[in-house]
Amino acid sequence: MIELRNDWQIGEIKALFELPFNDLLFKAHSIHRETFDPNKVQVSSLLNIKTGACPEDCSYCSQSSKYDTGLEREKLMEVEEVLQQAQNAKNKGATRFCMGAAWRNPTDKSLDKVIPMIQGVKAMGMETCVTLGMLSPKQAAVLKDAGLDYYNHNIDTSKENYSNVVTTRQFQDRLDTLEAVKNANINVCSGGILGMGETETDRASMLQSLANLEKHPDSVPINLLVPIPGTPFENVKPPSESEFVRTIAVARILMPNSVVRLSAGRLDMGEGMQALCFFAGANSIFYGEQLLTTDNPTVANDKLLFSRLGINSEDNQQSVAQDVAL
């Protein structure tokens, strides 16, 4: 049993980041093997159920009303359409369906419309996840009653860097929602984005905030910024491949029992880099051609990737890797 800590000091985390790459990866992979099957990767599919016109000013986001990104706003989707998309995702092998909305926070009325979506997806035998912005403790309880398995709410960056990324809310607001979700006994999914001009210390601090929560998030998505034309971050220099892989490795070491998701940005990553991320401890991906508003690798490409790496997905019918015609 690996000891779970939530008293990580920033110096210890920075020391991990500064290890020789091979030493860091060996350490992370050894821990990964103690808690997980190293050849198993969980697959979740995403659907944006409400697009654009968000009042927040997150500098990375295509859906903020503050930037002209050319995205057409769309109102909340109908339940039937959402369930059709969920069925498609299930047929392709997804085990979790995550529904996202471009809201600062849901109103109680809009939350009522999301409830039948959660119930319908659950009835299909998939795990359910939603990401709807800030929640009150009461709203979290309503989602729990609807059968919600996971709530995604990213801290995105370090608390020190937060005001360079978003000004319409505070870092503490994110922590308050995570607390409400945890107290409602919903699994917490929380991580961040690399490639927003942050320093290595910011990455260490972001992981420290996640790892020092009272309970580690069950799922930790690490996104590579998908640069969106029209947003303040459209031209920010991306991290090097090894810097990205190091962050996955440190997340694995700090949170040994959490599922670490290699999230947005995979279209900009080759087979070798993704393989290194899986070696470093990533064991989940977003699966399907679309993220929320941007593209993701095709299912055929991911089947090929898994097949080449000998990875099995936790498919609810059959292994995605075995499904590939070799």
Residues binding ligand SAM (CB under 6 A): 60-61, 100, 102-103, 131, 133, 153-154, 156, 193, 223, 225-226, 228, 264, 292
SS3 317: coil
Binder among 105, 128, 161, 223 for ligand DTB (CB under 6 A): 223
Tell me the closest approach of the beta carbon of residue 282 to ligand DTB, in angstroms.
Answer: 13
Binder among 61, 186, 249, 282 for ligand SF4 (CB under 6 A): 61
Comparing CA positions, the residue from 206, 179, 181, 182 lying closest to residue 194 is 206
Question: Residue 180: which of ligand SAM, ligand SF4, ligand DTB, none does it interact with, CB under 5 to 8 A by kind?
Answer: none
Comparing CA positions, the residue from 14, 8, 39 lying closest to residue 310 is 39
> Can you name the residues that pair with 313 across neighbouring β-strands?
41
Question: Residue 225: which of ligand SF4, ligand SAM, ligand DTB, none does it interact with, CB under 5 to 8 A by kind?
Answer: ligand SAM
Contacts of 208 (CB under 8 A, 6+ apart): 8, 9, 10, 13, 254
> Choosing from 61, 246, 252, 277, which is the catalytic residue?
61
Residue closer to ligand SF4, measured from CB, 133 or 288: 133
Does 305 help bind ligand SF4 (rule: CB under 6 A)? Answer: no
> Can you name the residues that pair with 294 across neighbouring β-strands?
none
Comparing CA positions, the residue from 224, 282, 271, 227 lying closest to residue 249 is 282
Does 294 help bind ligand DTB (rule: CB under 6 A)? Answer: yes
**Cβ–Cβ under 8 Å, residues 166 and 198:** no
What is the per-residue burial (b if ≥16 Cβ within 10 Å, else e) of 118-148?
Answer: bebbbeeebbbbbbbbbbeeebbbbbbebeb
Is 277 labeled as catalytic in the residue annotation?
Answer: no
**Cβ–Cβ under 8 Å, residues 312 and 320:** yes
Stretch that binds ligand SF4, among 56-64, 137-145, 229-237, 249-257 (CB under 6 A): 56-64
Is 61 labeled as catalytic in the residue annotation?
Answer: yes
Is 58 labeled as catalytic in the residue annotation?
Answer: yes
SS3 279: helix
Find the length of the chain. Answer: 326
Stretch that binds ligand DTB, among 3-11, 23-31, 85-93, 292-300 (CB under 6 A): 292-300
Does 48 help bind ligand SF4 (rule: CB under 6 A)? Answer: no
Stretch that binds ligand DTB, among 113-121, 162-170, 198-206, 291-299 (CB under 6 A): 291-299
DSSP letters, 141-207, are HHHHHTT--EEE---BS-TTTGGGT-SSS-HHHHHHHHHHHHHTTPEEE--EEE-SS--HHHHHHHH
Question: Residue 75: which of ligand DTB, ligand SAM, ligand SF4, none does it interact with, CB under 5 to 8 A by kind?
Answer: none
Q: How many CB atoms lie within 10 A of CB 115?
A: 16
Active site residues: 54, 58, 61, 98, 129, 189, 261
Give the interface with ligand DTB as residue ranges (CB under 6 A). 46, 62, 100, 131, 152, 154, 191, 221, 223, 226, 263-264, 291-294
Binding residues for ligand SF4, per CB under 6 A?
Answer: 54, 56, 58, 61, 63-64, 102, 104, 133
